[in-house]
Amino acid sequence: MITLALFLILICGLYLYGTRNYKYWELKGVKHDQPLPFFGNIVRINFLQASTPDVIRELYYKYSSESVVGFYRMSLPELLIKDPEMIKQILIANSNCFHMRGLLTEKKTLEPLFRNIIYADGDIWRLLRQRLTPAFTGGKLKAMFPLIIKLSEKLQARVLSATTAGTEIDAHDLMMRYTVDLIGACGLGLQFDSLQKENSPFINLAHNMLKFGPKEVLIFTLKEIFPTVFRNLKLHSQMEKEILNLVIEIQKQRNYEPSRRNDFIDLLLEYKKKGTMVGESIERKNPEGMPEIATLEMDDELMASQVYMFFVAGSETSSTASSITLHELAYHPEVQSKVHKEIDRVLAKYDNKLSYDAIKEMTYLNWTFKEAMRIFPPVPFIYRECTQKYTFEKINLTIDKGVRVLVALPTIHNDPKYFENPTEFKPERFDPANFDMNNKFVYLPFGDGPRSCIGARLGQMQSLVGLVAILARFIVRPGPSSVRHPKVRPPSRITQNIKGLPLIFIERNK
């Protein structure tokens, strides 16, 4: 009897723990679905039955008349933001209350690979953001451009060899290889040769970084439900070693000193050489109300984490954006014809040589790229965690510190309230004469505010160069196995991960 009583007490205790926050939205009068114990409203995501964008899209339209919708990620309350004015408050006007992303439940013991400007919050994020921003200036882009041109030529060569064979090409894999090689050359000073070597170890490393199978789902779920108990479980233990070894090897090649490459690794080496990074804290204040001093050491592990960020953020987002653009052009030959004409006209002006200025002049291509990211944004969500009690005055809703808010980009980008005929692929939407500036805060492929994408300009530039390299010489068409609307894979979390975009590439006869 005593054993049975203890068992019942244990079960009741677990139930109460797993449902402890489930009155939060009800008490605040926010519409939401009924959560399940422990899993909240994301049980289908955790069991790989649906992708996160699909589940959030259902909530978005189920409560179509609401400005916000509540839901529960495990036991934690989160708030889906649908109103542009409220989005602006979160990202810009009151960003000091939402400077944290809150992507990880366990914040006290961050895994080494998560100590980067994507995942880290608070002082770590601020010190890193301040130091890494110089790596992505316009001047740096121009300096990288000759390397980008060389890689675009290799991209052309790979496509040409495949067209000779007359086979379909996976556009996503193609652009992933191009982007990985670009990261290696421009960021790390390494020749990855993923465009030339079918089984390049670096393309495999990039794919493994995005792997999120049953094992990873289990670890992630346990850490979300019981963050304190399972804080030492690692998602990327083997990868952690591989990237750390890679960073150490690059440092050895440079004799642990910044080289003259002036690349991402050089920037990290400079800060490592300078010693402790120091700045004002955004987490702690002294008794007088002034910010305390925050410090951070640029050691090998922290360098490895930034390289991991550079790989993940650069390879998957840029490759998805550029391959989705090719996919849409394949299904819209009339738009593709306009892009071809613009590329031909601008390149003729520059003696048929690709240059930084030539890319800047290809406005219709730029609109096309933006429209592709409207329809299928590579990063599906903007997450922010509330750092103090905050009131949305428009709807008289107060949320507490620690509540995470999110903007669902695939859904809001395709909401007919903001974009007329949203399923129509229409680059002219982004003609400044046509673009509705009221839509500024519902079109956010790179985010906005202090935590916007630090590599946005590099991502756009490398994608546009890759597109020009292909479209200057080839026509793209759907292949026999092409699917008009590619599905997001259920394990996708930070990015909208898709499996394959097969297309036919036909050499142009100009």
Q: Tokens 């490459």, residue?
A: 261
DSSP states along 344-402 = HHHHHHTTT---HHHHHH-HHHHHHHHHHHHHS-SS-EEEEE-SS-EEETTTTEEE-TT
Q: Is residue 407 helix, strand or coil?
A: strand
187, 265 Cβ separation under 8 angstroms = yes
Q: What angle do CA 345, 349, 351 make, to 5 degrees?
A: 115
Structure-block tokens of residue 161: 């060899």
Q: What angle do CA 467, 335, 84 make, to 5 degrees?
A: 85
Give the containing element (helix H, strand E) for 76.
Answer: strand 76-81
Nearest to 303 by CA among 263, 353, 330, 333: 263
Q: How many CB atoms within 10 Å of residue 461?
A: 22
Q: Which residues are annotated as a binding site?
A: 453
Q: How far is Cα 180 from Cα 188, in angstroms, rounded to an integer?
A: 11
Q: Tokens 């965690």, residue?
A: 385
> Torsion angle, CA of 483/501/493/387, rounded to 10 degrees?
-100
Structure-block tokens of residue 147: 């390397």
Q: How far is Cα 469 from Cα 141, in angstroms, rounded to an integer?
A: 18
Structure-block tokens of residue 294: 């925050």
Q: How many CB atoms within 10 Å of residue 364?
A: 18
Cα distances (Å, whole numbers) of residue 474 to 154, 156, 249, 284, 329: 14, 9, 39, 56, 12
Q: Which residues are annotated as a binding site for heme?
A: 453
Cα dihedral sign, 319-325-328-333? negative
Structure-block tokens of residue 210: 């995005």
Structure-block tokens of residue 258: 């910044």
Cα distances (Å, whole numbers) of residue 82 to 54, 57, 409: 16, 11, 10
100, 387 Cβ separation under 8 angstroms = yes
Q: Is residue 261 helix, strand or coil?
A: coil
Structure-block tokens of residue 245: 């070894």
Q: How many CB atoms within 10 Å of residue 297?
A: 11
Nearest to 14 by CA among 71, 67, 75, 61: 75
